[in-house]
Amino acid sequence: MDYKFLDISLVSTSAIVKINRVEKLNALNGEIINNLLMLFENIEEDKNIKVVILTGAGDKAFVAGADIYEMANLNTIEAYQFAKKGTNLLKFIDNSTKIIISAVNGYALGGGFELALAADIIIASKNAKFGFPEVTLGIIPGFGGTQNLPRALGPYLAKELIFSGRIIDSLEAFNLGLVNKIVEPDKLIDITLELAKKISSNGFLALSAAKESINNGLNVGKNEGLNYESNLFAKLFSTNDQKEGMKAFLEKRKPEFKNM
C-alpha cells in the first residue's frame, strides 16, 4: 500500500518510516497524520516487524510541527478534531506492541516534538533541536505535549520549556534525559538500526510486555503498577519464548525465540 508523504523500508525485523514532506520541513498535515495511523495499524498486524524507526526526510527536520497553514483557519470544533486525530495516533503508538524509536534529525518542534516523545526511545543527531513554540502562535501543545513532557521531565522543567517556547539543542535534551543518545547526522539511521537489531534479538512477547508494564505504570499508582507487572510476568510463563529462553540458558546456547 502507498502512503502519501511516507517512505517505508524494511531492514530485517525493523520498519523505517520516514515522513517525507521536505519542502515544508515535514510539517504534519491531516493527511500525514491519517496515513501514519493507517500505517501503524498495518504494522501492528505484521508479525515480522518488531521495531519501528520514525524519522524525517532531509537533513533539516524530523518534523517542524503540525501544519500551521492548515491550522490557521480552523474553528473550535475543527481544532478539537485535529487535536484528537493527533492524540489518537500518539495513543496508538503508546499502546503498540512494537518498540518505537524516534531517530531525530534536525527540528522536532511542536507536534514533531510530541511525535518524538510518543516513541519508546529517542536517538538524536547532533543537529537535532527540540521545542514547543506553540505559545508563540497563541496555542498550546495539543498532541500530548502537556502530558508527556511533564512525565519525562517533571512539571517545573516542562513548564519552563512550554511557557517560554525555548528551543533546545541535542546536548541539552540529552542532559535533561529526553534523548537516549546523540550521534553524528550521517550515522543516525545506522546506529538506530544497530540498537533495533539488539532489541529485536530478544523475545518479542517479553519486549511488548515490558513496554506495556512501563507505560501502564506511568499512569497509575505504584501498587496498581506492581500488580499489573506481576500479571504480565506470570502471563509470559504460558509462552514458548519463556520456555525457550530459560532452556537455552540452561543448555548454554543462544535462544531461538518464535514470538509465541
Q: Give φ, ψ of 65 to 5 degrees.
A: 120, 180
**CB within 8 Å of 46: residues ≥ 6 apart:** 15
Q: Judging by beta carbons within 10 Å of its beta carbon (0-12, 13-18, 19+), is residue 125 exposed, middle or buried?
A: buried
C-alpha pair distances (Å), 123 with each of 30, 158, 198, 242, 244 = 26, 20, 15, 30, 31
Examine residue 83 and tell whether it contacts ligand HXC (CB under 6 A). yes
Tell the smallest beta-carbon distance from residue 200 to ligand HXC (Å). 31
- Count, residues near ligand HXC per rule CB under 6 A: 22
CA Rg value for the chain? 19
Region of 47-55, 103-111, 185-193, 200-208 interacting with ligand HXC (CB under 6 A): 103-111
Tell me if 144 contacts ligand HXC by CB under 6 A: no
Place of cell 508523504: 5
Applying CB under 6 A, the span of 40-48, 78-86, 185-193, 218-226 interacting with ligand HXC comes to 78-86
Interacting residue with ligand HXC among 5, 130, 143, 257 (CB under 6 A): 143
Pairing of the two strands 181-183 and 121-125: parallel
Query: Would you call 134 a catalytic residue per the annotation?
Result: yes
On the CB side of 175, how many CA atoms lie within 13 Å of its CA? 6
- Looking at the Cβ atoms of 108 and 121, the one nearer to ligand HXC is 108
Using the minimum distance from each CB to ligand HXC, give the nearer residue, 122 or 206.
Answer: 122
Per-residue binding letters, 14-33, with ligand HXC (x by CB under 6 A)? ----------xx-x------
Among 61-69, 89-97, 180-188, 248-256, the segment contacting ligand HXC (CB under 6 A): 61-69
Smallest distance from ligand HXC to CB 126, Å: 17
CB 145 to ligand HXC: min, Å: 7
Choose the stretch contacting ligand HXC; rule: CB under 6 A; options: 44-52, 109-117, 151-159, 185-193. Answer: 109-117
Q: Which residues, other chains included, contact 26 with Cβ-Cβ below 8 Å and sequence gap of 6+?
A: 19, 20, 56, 57, 58, 61, 62, 63, 64, 112
Known catalytic membership, residue 114: yes
Q: Count other C-beta atoms under 10 Å from residue 106's C-beta.
A: 22
> Which grid coordinates belong to 245?
529462553
- Interface residue with ligand HXC among 56, 65, 203, 255 (CB under 6 A) is 65
Summarize as ranges the residues that interact with ligand HXC (CB under 6 A).
24-25, 27, 64-69, 82-83, 86, 107, 109-111, 133-134, 137, 141-143
Active-site residue set: 114, 134
